[in-house]
Structure 1
């Protein structure tokens, strides 16, 4: 493709994306495709000769679009938002155009230093502890997801706990990791990958009312395991759980971790970016005093395309100690000098994309004021929805809803618990099949709840009103 051809087709692609953004509301939220539909419309074999890009764009409409669930649709309430925005798309395009592989400072100094500065900016915007800034012993890095951040944190914690022997000799004694029943499943997966093993992931009790981790039970488990000869490695506290946005008591958990000398990782994948608003900065409680690592996802609620997880550590030495391997072909003067960051030592893979460009573009386009307004809009719309549900005697509301997620269910008076759960599931399936909105469910307190996660950039009060009206109509009909 010549530069002139790229210009011509590039304009068409940008126009296609802009048109899509304008008309996204006209699509059914959830894809209507059946298993195998997209495969059936794709040739079984690749073309022998190259085709014009017109054919690609035509098949994008004919084959791909029917298989798309529209995450940017204003009635997409199923999962936490996966925001995108114009400046983020353009930043991603610039990253793709430059084609940088930023594994080392030397392979593109701007890739590394822009990321360092942008993570310091974001730490400032969120009011994070000074110890997470790059000028000290800590610092930030962009991972692909909170799952990778958790795995990296576990490896760093392992390195610190056993003095690096597990990285050299493998795990030769029992190591333990601590989560709650509400912690994201990626922590158990990370424990498997790291060699700790799922059987050594200890599940801490939660408060039945708030679903927050119980520090007293955590303390008891740590004491019991250490007495049995295990080496406790990491505790994961969550700020804004996936199921209900429960918030673990980080200060109390951190105090327990400090007494036992255990690494504290705080997973704020969804809710952490809410701290861009000063009135929501309570989500940072305990970080400065106790957190060894922390992660949150701009690609959820901060208008930045997936993938973009911001991760910070209070001390980078265990992280780089666990992950740094320097073969001869990567040796260079800048790395040897010790004056630069090589982000390959802060992640699992060697190679890395220039992810910072899209976050940089978003922060510069919206500024702190625009980012705060986006988050506040989501919180306000969710509060409006919760008020509607709470005022309806036919529905039951889960009262904890400080962010953009609202969990609720019809009361189904007179139905046994299992039949009420089944009725709630049928209601959700009917709503999702309508194409008008898309919800998911969870189970909390032994009951099935519907989840409505508000936060798509296009969602406004009219979409909340329409969704609630649709839910009530279907519940009454069902």
Structure 2
């Protein structure tokens, strides 16, 4: 294809995308293919000659789309939705068209300076203190890895990158059992080792870390000659929405000189609403905070907002500046590639700009409040059903339940069959988790275009299918 042919196909793709989003609710939420269907439909050998877009697009619709699980479906209640609001999609179209590589200020000044401003807009939206500065990472996993690497370097007096971890005291990182597995992976990649990730017991309805147990674990490690290095807290964990007592835990981190990181990948979006900020009291004491606008806020994947109280710590951990990456003759610039593990960087700030300008913060708040209120309404209805029990209460728009009819014995098997049958039905999509060893079913509302009717449909689907088991 030549560029003078692009606009015709661009219009056709735009029309297709609009129709897709307007009609996606008519499709089964989950992909309808079996393992190997897409692979076997694709030729084993690449074509020697070029093909026309007509044939390529026809194959896209025939081969690819049946194998797509529709994350933009209004009844996608599984995992945490990865949203794609219309203005964000348009911004990504423009970003793809201009295709900048935004690793340095000089390689795309507009991208760098917009990232600075958009991260400050988000900081203000969350009501974080002005001392926090931000960088856009690809995912919360990358932000957590960056935080763990910073924990390591600070604890080793900035010698870890140079000397490695050999002959050093084992470093200890503390978290609860409810954190995301990205924490485990960060520990692996940082070379700290799984056995040095200390799982602190949880307590209470929020299933948060026990501060007294945290203090005891730190004291025991010090007595054993180990070196406490960092604390990772959870606000809105993936399984049940588990949330640690932020203020109490950060007080302990300060006492022992631990670098602290808060993973609020999903629930952080809700903090644009003042009434939900009681879930992270004392957040201003954290060293590092991450949340994903590409989850609940509506920004298209990938876009993770990473806030830092002292960015110099992260830069000292990650920055490498060979001559070919230096910008001479310019003062006061930021090179965000020094704030992240990858050198190459996409222009992610543009879609935040488009989104916030289109809806405004109040428009975004209204959506989040609706999701939470509708989810709580569904929770209340299902709680009245005699064969169902609520396992964990709503945390924002996330809660868990279990089908437990009288006389049933193997509830794990029964609920696994229930969630599989619901997902095979196709009208809604749910996922399972485990709470204290028991298999339970999660519900979470957060798709950008979902309605109250979509959420309430889940009650009919769940009870109808449960009655057949």
Q: TM-score range by the shorter chain?
A: over 0.9
Partner of 2:230: 234
How far, CA to CA, are the matches of 1:359 and 1:304 in structure 2?
6
**Where in structure 1 are there 5+ consecutive unaligned residues?**
133-138
For the Cα contact (< 8 Å) 1:129–1:287, is it kept in 2? Answer: no
Partner of 1:153: 147
**Does the residue aligned with 2:442 lie in a helix, a strand or coil?**
strand
Structure 1 Cα separation of the partners of residues 306 and 78 of structure 2: 25
- Determine the structure 2 residue equivalent to 1:188: 184
- C-alpha separation in 2, matches of 1:83 and 1:450: 22
- Pick aligned residue for 1:368 from 361, 369, 377: 361
CA distance in 2, matches of 1:313, 1:450: 35
Instruction: Give the 3-state SS of the residue equivalent to 1:398 in structure 2.
Output: strand
Cα 1:43–1:456 change in 2 (3 A) is same
> Cα distance, 1:107 vs. partner?
0.8
Q: How many aligned positions are there?
A: 467
SS at match of 1:130: coil
Deviation at 1:399, TM superposition (A): 4.6
Match of 2:42 in 1: 42
Instruction: Report Cα offsets for 1:310-330 as digits up to 9, x if no partner.
Output: 000100111000001111211
Work out whether residues 240 and 392 of structure 2, in 8 Å CA contact, stay in contact via their aligned partners in 1: no
**Partners of 2:282 and 2:205 in 1: CA distance:** 22
Structure 1 outlier segments of 4+, above 3 Å: none
Q: Does 1:266 align with 2:262?
A: yes
User: 1:131 & 1:396 partners in 2: Cα distance?
Assistant: 45
1:464 is aligned to 2:460: no
Instruction: State whether residues 157 and 318 of structure 1, in contact with CA within 8 Å, keep that contact through their aligned partners in structure 2.
Output: no
Aligned residue for 1:427? 418
* d(CA) in 2 for partners of 1:402, 1:459: 19
For 2:329 and 2:210, locate their aligned partners in 1 and report how far apart those are by CA, in whole Å.
Answer: 47
Question: Within the alignment, does 1:247 sit opposite 2:243 as a pair?
Answer: yes
Give the corresponding residue for 1:178.
174
Cα 1:403–1:251, aligned 2, differ >3 Å: closer, same or farther?
same
- TM-superposed CA distance for 1:8, in Å, is 0.8
Matched, 1:74 2:86: no
Task: Please report the TM-score for the alignment, with normalisation by the length of structure 1.
Answer: 0.95
Residue of structure 1 in register with 2:338 after alignment: 345
Task: Specify the alignment match of 1:83 in structure 2.
Answer: 83
Matching residue of 1:108: 108
SS at match of 2:394: coil
Distance 1:193 1:370 in 2: 39
Runs of 5+ consecutive residues of structure 2 not aligned to the other structure: none
Secondary structure in structure 1 of the residue aligned to 2:289:
strand
Q: Give, in angstroms, the shift of residue 432 of structure 1.
A: 0.7
Matches of 1:464 and 1:434, distance apart in 2:
16
Cα distance in 2 between the residues matched to 1:413 and 1:270:
35
Q: Distance in 2 between matches of 1:402 and 1:30?
A: 25
**Over the residues paired in the alignment, what is the CA RMSD in angstroms?**
1.3
Task: Tell me how far 1:92 sits from its aligned partner.
Answer: 0.7
Cα distance between partner residues in 2 of 1:311 and 1:331: 24
Answering whether residue 58 of structure 2 is matched by residue 32 of structure 1, we say no
**Pair 1:143-2:137 in alignment:** yes
CA distance in 1 between partners of 2:356 and 2:130 (Å):
20
Match of 2:51 in 1: 51
Name the stretch that deviates more: 396-405 or 258-267: 396-405
1:391 equivalent in alignment to 2:373 = no
TM-score under structure 2 normalisation?
Answer: 0.97
Residue number in structure 2 paired with 1:135: none
